[in-house]
Amino acid sequence: MFIKSLSTLLLSAAGAFAATGQLVQVTNFGPNPTNVGMFVYRPARLANPLPLIMAIHYCSGTAQAYFQGTQYANLADTHGFMVIYPNAPDSGGCWDVHTQATLTHDAGGDSLGIVSQRSYDDERSDGRYPDVFKAGSAFSGVPFGCFAGPDMWNSQCSTGQLIMTPEQWGDLVRNAYPGFNGTRPKFQFWHGTADTTLYPQNFWEDIKQWTNVFGVSQTPTSNITNNPLPGYSRASFGPNVQAILAQGVGHTVPEQANDVLNWFGISDVTPGSGSPTTSAPSSPSTSAPSTTSAPGGAAAHWGE
Ligand SMILES: *[C@@H]1O[C@H](CO)[C@@H](O)[C@H](O)[C@H]1NC(C)=O
Ligand SMILES: *[C@@H]1O[C@H](CO)[C@@H](O)[C@H](O)[C@H]1NC(C)=O
């Protein structure tokens, strides 16, 4: 769902990767019409309740590359959460974020396989997508539904020329699961101003979409500059929408895994029982980097 360039991957991979355990493939989980692969990282010591992060690789990536190129597994050793790395069935390593199946609740597609993975191992619920995840974080993506169409790639969207009103963008999310009236996962998205793969206009369209979905103003309630890094700004629109813009950064916005954990509310979780953070019982999902369409796509779908 996201598309990050290969160079990104190499860049990330150059960081210290020190997870102590192995990535294990799981083949038996629920409905999986498109044959999404499933790889699990389960640290030796688990927190209780057990948070779960779905770490969804960028377009042109793999579960293995994302495992090695990000810090989620290392951090799982420290905090005791579990990480699932879905693997895109498409030969090009992209997610099917252009299909109505994936963009619609319970209609199939890669998103259904991913949701099935979410509940394979535990006591948790079935697959009502909006209930499935607590939070999402997307790197360098596009709004939910922006890539919709016959082809895997949508140039109108990628180049930032698909402009819609907040209401129109919000309708795409609402129509993915008509009648849903539960709590939607809060959503954070990151984008570089020099992104020439998925143009930064998509960041502004994302703001329109998610402020509309959550029914909040498009004017940030706060905008902290040089946060979390020099040249970045973190704009919040109430508690559920956060838009981080990285000045001069291209399509590869290096993933700030600790920052993502903080957004998910699991920074203070530690292995063993009685973890301090009780707000993380369920599973925050990271849709992390995504590219294509997906960030918004994946999160929107799940989030409803
Ligand atoms: C919406 O809320 C009503 C009232 O609680 C409930 O009966 C209905 O099933 C909900 N719809 C969905 C799709 O969850
Ligand atoms: C937040 O502030 C920075 C610095 O002024 C600005 O570049 C950015 O566009 C602002 N973000 C939003 C969402 O308005």
CB atoms under 10 Å from CB of 37, counted, come to 18
Ligand having the closest approach to the CA of 181: 1
In a domain, 16, yes or no: no
Q: DSSP per residue over 109-121, as a string? A: HHHHHHHHHHTTT
Range with the poorest average pLDDT among 30-34, 161-165, 237-241, 296-300 = 296-300
Quick count: other Cβ atoms within 10 Å of Cβ 193? 14
Q: Which of 188, 211, 216, 233 to mutate to test the pocket of ligand 2 (most atoms within 8 A of CB)?
A: 233
Which CATH number goes with the domain that contains 64? 3.40.50
**pLDDT score at 96:** 95
Lowest mean pLDDT among 2-6, 142-146, 282-286: 2-6
Q: 178 in ligand 1 pocket by Cβ < 6 Å?
A: no
User: Would you put residue 77 in left (φ > 0), alpha (ψ -120 to 50) or beta?
Assistant: alpha
Q: Is residue 257 part of a domain?
A: yes
244 lines ligand 2 (CB under 6 A): no
- 247-285 in b/e form (b: 16+ CB < 10 A) is eebbbbbbbbbebbbebbbbbebebeeebebebbbbbbb
Q: Which of 282, 1, 29 is nearest to 141 (CA)?
A: 1
pLDDT tens, residue by residue, 242-263: 999 999 999 999 999 999 999 9
Report the alpha-carbon distance of residue 81 to residue 60 in Å, rounded: 26
**What is the structure's pLDDT at 273?**
59
Residue 2 forms beta bridges with which residues?
Answer: 58
Domain that holds residue 41: 24-302
How many domains does one find in the chain? 1
Is residue 275 a part of any domain in this protein?
yes
Could you tell me if the CB of 181 is within 6 A of ligand 1? yes
Residue at 179 is within a domain = yes
DSSP 33-87: TT--EEEEE--SS-EES--EEEBPPEET--HHHHHHHSSHHHHHHHH--EEEEEE
Residue 228: asked if its preceding bond is cis (omega within 30°), the reply is yes
Nearest CA to 102 out of 251, 292, 268 is that of: 292
Q: Give per-residue pLDDT as tens, 113-151.
A: 999 998 766 544 334 344 578 999 999 999 999 999 999
Ligand 1 closest atom vs CA 177: 13
DSSP assigned state of 131: H
Tell how far the Cα of 184 is from the centroid of ligand 2, in angstroms.
Answer: 25
Taking the CA of 178 as reference, the closest ligand is 1
pLDDT digits (tens, 9 = 90+) for 17-29: 678 889 999 998 8
Question: How far does the centroid of ligand 1 lie from the alpha carbon of residue 56, in Å?
Answer: 30
* In-domain check, residue 110: yes
pLDDT of residue 8: 31
- The answer, yes or no, to whether any atom of ligand 2 lies below 6 A from the CB of 236, is no
Does a structural domain hold residue 155?
yes
Is residue 179 within 6 Å of ligand 1 at its C-beta?
Answer: yes
CA distances from 114 to 56, 120, 161, 183, 207 (A): 9, 10, 29, 20, 25
Residue 303 has pLDDT above 80, yes or no: no
Ligand nearest the Cα of residue 129 is 1
Query: How far is the C-alpha of 274 from the C-alpha of 99, rounded, in Å?
Result: 42
- Per-residue pLDDT tens over the stretch 83-112: 999 999 999 999 999 999 999 999 999 999
Q: Is the residue at 8 inside a domain? A: no
Residue 140, token pair as written in the block: 């360098």
Whether 14 maps to a domain, the answer reads: no
Query: Has 125 been annotated as catalytic?
Result: yes
